[in-house]
Amino acid sequence: TPAPAARSFDALIIGAGFSGLYQLLCLRDRLGLNVQVLEAGDGVGGTWYWNRYPGARCDSESHSYNYTFSKELFEEWEWSERYPEQPEIMRYLNHVADRFDLKRDICFGTRVVAARHDEAAGSWTVTTEAGEKLTAQFLITAVGCLSTANVPALPGLGDFAGRWYHTGQWPHEGVDFRGKRVGLVGTGSTGIQATPVIAEAAAHLTVFQRTPNYSVPAHNAPLTPEFRQWVRHNHAELRRIMQSTPNGHPFVIEDRSVWDVTAEQRQAIYEAAWAKGGLQFRAAFRDLLVDKEANDTAAAFLKDKIREIVKDPATAELLADIDHPYAAKRPPIDSDYFATFNRPNVTLADVRRAPIERITPAGIRTAAAEYPLDIIVFATGFDAMTGPLLRMNIEGRDGRALAEAWEAGPRNYLGLQVAGFPNLFTITGPGSPSVLCNMPVAIEQHVEWITDCIARLRADGLARIEPTEAAMDDWVTQVNDAAHATLLPQAHHSWYLGANVPGKPRVFMPYAGGMARYRAICDEVAAAGYPGFMRGA
């Protein structure tokens, strides 16, 4: 029997998280296109569908971690705590999907394994894991930046007699830590969130630390009725602030230098910022991310806090032995992370000086010791930004693979489009500021820009758009220049640089020039009729 004809759409969207849901709404309900979303998970949520590890919570404050495109949606949703916990974010995204009747156009449990551009037909053909083929004029990836789990290739893992999990692929039924000896590998934002929660449940927890990290208390708490009411009445103002700050958060970075104040005043400012907590800490001074000596003052303050909190001096020194500038890696925020090392059932293992050699059937063996374990938790991060795109086997014109085009690192224009891959749009792609920004703010901008771009194309009677090589070269330079104007590239272990994945090209991937500036650049390009892009019939 002949293979069934591929189902055909105006646009295919891959992923049903924050990005995919809003992109569906815009293309289907605003432009009237025939759209299909393909989603690997069995529900909406994206990142939050998979990351169900203990303590999973967003570091953006609740009232800013939502869509702002609809005043009614914004006003009718109430968050319960200062930072939204994973189950609550799932409730929110399901609410959005139901409110706008989005689920009827989403195929769940459908993983994309290949996407190929057909030049003659001017369309994309997408293949799913089940072998189904779908075609569309436009292909939009909404696959997230932190969705390809990085499980270290440690020898012996297959022989481990206990159970092991990656935080980004957490079992839906949860994990029972009671009475168990648990090892947690990784001290990024995820490990720092999970450690205190696992420590409360487990018989014993060993945290395997390769690169120590700063962390500022989150001071999570239930939101008061007064605050919730204030948020409800200030939709326009909050949206305006979030769209004008460099990082999309609803707070403004103080316009003062570390050197404008005395040492005593500085200490008082840091104490106040510590008491306020969360990502706002880095808003204390304007020069923390551009002046190394200014940054050193924040780093010293935060290291002193670790020494103050952690009672055992040797453990405190290991935790405070941080050699990157504060916030040059994504800065974690925590609930009792450092204090957890004062618990009698928690141990810190230094795997920088004594690396993990192998997993044995009984546990983890480092160069210094053997740790018997029942459960290993890998909080080891993701093949960030490029990983989720490259694993889909995307082929552009003449069958050229994206993996080949990006062999030396990602190259695109505005983080959104790649030469040789017509009508492919990458929401929150490398070269966009998204991961340095409060994510929904970046996503709304990307989605609206892509929607306008497609609308303009159709209004002009055109069928395809892709960037020029020259525009890509220029954008790569701008991304590089923006990074090097900051201290961010000085954190050699950061996933911004791909350094956490062995063999990955060392390229600073996000655009560090700020969300507000990026938005202005994108708006200018659209207003000028898309210079840097080739638009054709």
Nearer to ligand NA7, 64 or 137 (CB): 64
Nearer to ligand NA7, 36 or 500 (CB): 500
The DSSP string of 96-126 is HHHHTT-GGGEE-S--EEEEEEETTTTEEEE
Strand ranges inside 218-258, DSSP E: none
Nearer to ligand NA7, 89 or 146 (CB): 146
Nearer to ligand NA7, 379 or 442 (CB): 379
Nearer to ligand NA7, 266 or 504 (CB): 504
Q: Among candidates 346, 480, 328, which has minimal Cα distance to 411?
A: 480
Pairing mode of beta strands 424-426, 363-366: unpaired
Q: How far is the CB of 184 from ligand NA7 (least distance, A)?
A: 10
Q: How far is the CB of 519 from ligand NA7 (least distance, A)?
A: 20
Q: How far is the CB of 167 from ligand NA7 (least distance, A)?
A: 6
Q: How far is the CB of 222 from ligand NA7 (least distance, A)?
A: 23
Provide the total of helices (H) and of strands (E) in the chain, helices listed first. Answer: 15, 20
- Runs of H (alpha helix) within 255-291: 263-276
Residue whose Cβ sits closest to ligand NA7: 188
Q: How far is the CB of 495 from ligand NA7 (least distance, A)?
A: 4
3-state secondary structure 56-99: CECCCCHHHCCCCCCHHHHHHCCCCECCCEHHHHHHHHHHHHHH
The conformation of residue 223, written as its DSSP 8-state character, comes to P
Nearer to ligand NA7, 146 or 197 (CB): 146
Q: How far is the CB of 57 from ligand NA7 (least distance, A)?
A: 10
**Is there a contact between 30 and 120 (Cβ–Cβ < 8 Å)?**
no
Rounded to 10 deg, the angle between the 292-309 and 263-276 helix axes is 60
Q: How far is the CB of 378 from ligand NA7 (least distance, A)?
A: 8
Nearer to ligand NA7, 37 or 288 (CB): 288
Q: How far is the CB of 372 from ligand NA7 (least distance, A)?
A: 18
**Is there a contact between 364 and 207 (Cβ–Cβ < 8 Å)?**
no
Nearer to ligand NA7, 138 or 160 (CB): 160
**Is there a contact between 485 and 517 (Cβ–Cβ < 8 Å)?**
no
Residues at the site binding ligand NA7, with contacts judged by CB under 6 A:
146, 152, 185-191, 208, 210-211, 330, 351, 356, 379-381, 493, 495, 500
Rounded to 10 deg, the angle between the 235-244 and 439-459 helix axes is 90
